[in-house]
Amino acid sequence: GVVVIAASTALQRLAPPSYLAAHTFFIRARTRLNVERLREQFVTAGYSHVTQVVAPGEYCVRGGLIDLFPMGSQLPYRIDLADDEVDSIRTFDPDSQRTLFKVNELRLLPAREVPIHEAGRNKFRSRYRETIEGDASKSQIYRDVSNGVPSAGIEYYLPLFFDETSTLFDYLPKHSAVVLHRDCSGAIESFW
């Protein structure tokens, strides 16, 4: 694959690859599925439980049907269970609820780039109070995160959620070629 990216975007801090690896999971047809464990994984990965799935980062469990809309996906998926086995996985139209096509497996990425579960919120609040001066309770972002709401701009607070952050280069394969075009040094200097 090829990634074309602005120098300033390449330098943005990201969640560490270990966070992504720990919160990515697979669902395959014709395998056993523990629904309660799956619900726990959804919560840990930042997915929201809703009554009807319409947007990325949402899931719904109704008896033997599980609807979910993975992050990065164009369409939601419906998992049909036969007892504790995945009978089928199909995409569907969120407006009409009609099935579109069948797939054999599904890869789910975390719903958020920050861990918004209780342990993540606790780490954020503690580090926020250590790092940022003033009354934390007056900060909208502090209140939002405390209530489990991932506010706009939360990505700028990544260091408060993680011991260390990464860049795009940490996600690239070991022997990737990096090609620079024009004045990257100037763009990097300007960004800093």
The CA distance from 73 to 95, in Å, is 16
Percentage, residues of the chain above pLDDT 90: 44
The CA distance from 142 to 148, in Å, is 10
**187 with 180: CB under 8 angstroms?**
no
Q: Name the H helices within 23-132.
A: 35-44, 118-131
Count CA within 13 A, CB hemisphere, residue 175.
Answer: 0
Hey, what are 152's tokens?
A: 């706009």
The CA distance from 91 to 184, in Å, is 42
pLDDT digits (tens, 9 = 90+) for 12-52: 889 999 988 888 888 999 999 998 989 888 888 888 899 99
3-state secondary structure of 112: coil
- What Rg do the C-alpha atoms of the chain give, in angstroms? 20
Report yes or no on whether pTM surpasses 0.85: no
The low-confidence residues of the chain, meaning pLDDT below 50, are none
Hey, what are 10's tokens?
A: 């390449």
